[in-house]
Structure 1
Amino acid sequence: MFEDQTKKSFIKKLLDHKIKFWLTVAAVLIILIAGGVSLYVKSALEPVDKNNEKAVNVYIPKGSTVSTIAAKLKKQELIKNEKVFITYVKFKHASGFQAGNFQLSQSMSPAELIDKLTSASHVPAFKIVVPEGRQLTEIAGMIADQTNYSEKDIMNKLDDKSFINKLKKKYPNLIKDDVLDKNIKHPLEGYLYPATYPFYDPETKLEAIIEAMIKQTDKTAGKYRTQMKDKKMSVHKTLTMASLIEEEATEKADRHKISSVFYNRLDKKMPLQTDPTVLYALGKHKNRVVYKDLGVKSPYNTYNHTGLPPGPIANAGESSWEAALNPDKTDYVYFLAKKNGEVVFTKTLKEHNKAKSKYITNQSE
Structure 2
Amino acid sequence: MRILILLLLTVLAGAGALAWDYQRFLDTPANLAEKEVFVVPSGASLRRVGQNLAAAGIIENAHYWELHGRMEGKAQDLRAGEYLLTPDMTPPALLALFIQGRTLQYSLTIPEGWNFRQMMQAVADHAHIENTLNPEDHEAVMERLGKPGAHPEGWFFPDTYLFPRGTTDLDFLRRAHERMEHALNVAWEGRQEDLPLETPYEALILASIVEKETGQAGERSRVAAVFVERLRRGMRLQTDPTVIYGIEQFDGRIRRRDLRLDTPYNTYTRDGLPPTPIALPGAAALEAVAHPAESKALFFVSRGDGTHHFSETYREHRQAVIKYQLDGDASRYGR
TM-score range, shorter chain: 0.7 to 0.9
- The correspondence for 1:246, drawn from 211, 219, 241, is 211
Q: Give the partner amino acid of 1:113.
A: L
Q: Does 1:332 align with 2:297?
A: yes
SS of the counterpart of 1:307? coil
Structure-2 residue corresponding to 1:147:
128
In 2: Cα distance, 1:59 partner to 1:251 partner: 46
Q: Does 1:267 align with 2:232?
A: yes
- The correspondence for 1:215, drawn from 171, 178, 190, is 178
SS of the counterpart of 1:271? coil
Deviation (angstroms), 1:72: 5.3
Q: What CA deviation, in whole Å up to 9, does each residue of 1:141-193 have, x standing for no partner?
A: 332324355698234366545325x236xxxxxxxx6x3xxxxxxx1111101
Structure-1 residue corresponding to 2:272:
307
Q: Does 1:277 align with 2:277?
A: no
Structure-1 residue corresponding to 2:37:
56
Structure-1 residue corresponding to 2:105:
125
In 2: Cα distance, 1:53 partner to 1:350 partner: 68
Deviation (angstroms), 1:335: 0.5
Q: Give the partner amino acid of 1:131.
A: P
Q: Give the partner amino acid of 2:267.
A: T
Contact 1:252 1:343 in 2 (8 A): no
Contact 2:184 2:204 in 1 (8 A): no
In 2: Cα distance, 1:139 partner to 1:359 partner: 34
Report the TM-score when normalising by structure 1: 0.71
Contact 2:237 2:272 in 1 (8 A): yes
Deviation (angstroms), 1:75: 6.6
Q: Looking at CA atoms only, which structure, 1 or 2, has the larger radius of gyration?
A: 1
Q: Give the partner amino acid of 1:89.
A: G
Contact 1:281 1:296 in 2 (8 A): no
In 2: Cα distance, 1:335 partner to 1:230 partner: 23
CA 107–289 in structure 1, closer or farther in 2 if over 3 Å, else same: same
CA 303–77 in structure 1, closer or farther in 2 if over 3 Å, else same: farther
Structure-1 residue corresponding to 2:306:
341
CA 335–284 in structure 1, closer or farther in 2 if over 3 Å, else same: farther
Deviation (angstroms), 1:322: 1.7
In 1: Cα distance, 2:115 partner to 2:159 partner: 14
Q: What CA deviation, in whole Å up to 9, does each residue of 1:46-67 have, x standing for no partner?
A: 66744x3142143576x97533
Contact 1:132 1:246 in 2 (8 A): yes
Q: Give the partner amino acid of 2:211.
A: E
SS of the counterpart of 2:246? helix
CA 92–257 in structure 1, closer or farther in 2 if over 3 Å, else same: closer
Structure-2 residue corresponding to 1:85:
65
Structure-1 residue corresponding to 2:315:
350
In 2: Cα distance, 1:217 partner to 1:58 partner: 33
- Residues paired across the two proteins, number: 324
